[in-house]
Amino acid sequence: DSRISKNQKTIFFVRHGQTEWNAIKRVQGQWNSDLSKTGERQAKRNGEFLEGQGIECLFSSPLERTRQTSEILKHYISLEPIYDSRIMEWDTGHWSGFMWEEIPKNWPLEYESWRQDPFNFNELGCESYPDMIERANPFVQELKLSKENTIAVVSHGIIGRVMIGLLLKHSEKEMVSYHQTNDTIIKVEMSGEKVKASHFIGGEGPYGGLPGTI
């Protein structure tokens, strides 16, 4: 019955492997940085994990680091990635390309404003969470209605929070309260109105709930 299949859905949210810029703490946003050797290993490990999960569809952000991750994953799950610009990473505006440690020195007031309210911060060309919700929500609604029941989505640390938060009906505080490392996959299972999350680290798990929640 097709109504049952639409109500039963499992989505694996994969963060791209570590990049050269992740390793040195440089702000990426929508700028490019290639996977490091560690990042390639993380993507392979996640590919090995996903191989046994019955993935029917693979979506990916079109940024280079997610493309490189998806190219590794497809060897394990035999699916061509479908690239969608709505799930590109948070646009970090003027901060893109700077070292994270430079941000509070160069923009002390804006940095403090961001720290106090990361959800609504939208200065210096940075996207706010409401901006990201607006662009990602149509994609999330399409995921919920898709004919495939087991889906992998390769994206990023911040936009990943947005998509997962939309599915879990997060508050502003909940949406910004956890961190998905480069080797973590978050699994969201939907059954009718019930939605639950678990996660895997380096292919190990499942661990209950979201990673690194306070």
pLDDT tens-place string over residues 68-94: 999 999 999 999 999 999 999 999 999
- Average pLDDT of the residues in 180-184: 97
Strand order in the sheet with 8-15: 82-83, 57-60, 150-155, 8-15, 184-191, 194-201, 204-208
Tell me the C-alpha distance between 201 and 203, whole Å: 5
For the chain, what is the largest distance between any 2 Cα atoms, rounded to a whole number of angstroms?
59
Q: Which pLDDT belongs to residue 212?
A: 87
Q: Chain-wide mean pLDDT for the chain?
A: 95
- Does the pLDDT of residue 214 top 60, yes or no? no
Q: What is the pTM of this model?
A: 0.95
Sign of the CA dihedral running 36, 73, 138, 206 = negative
Q: Which pLDDT belongs to residue 44?
A: 98
Tell me the C-alpha distance between 93 and 106, whole Å: 14
Q: What is the pLDDT of residues 3-48, one digit of tens each?
A: 444 569 999 999 999 999 999 999 999 999 999 999 999 999 999 9
Q: Which pLDDT belongs to residue 2?
A: 47
User: Within 10 Å of residue 11's Cβ, how many Cβ atoms?
Assistant: 25
Residues annotated as catalytic (active site), given as ranges: 16, 156
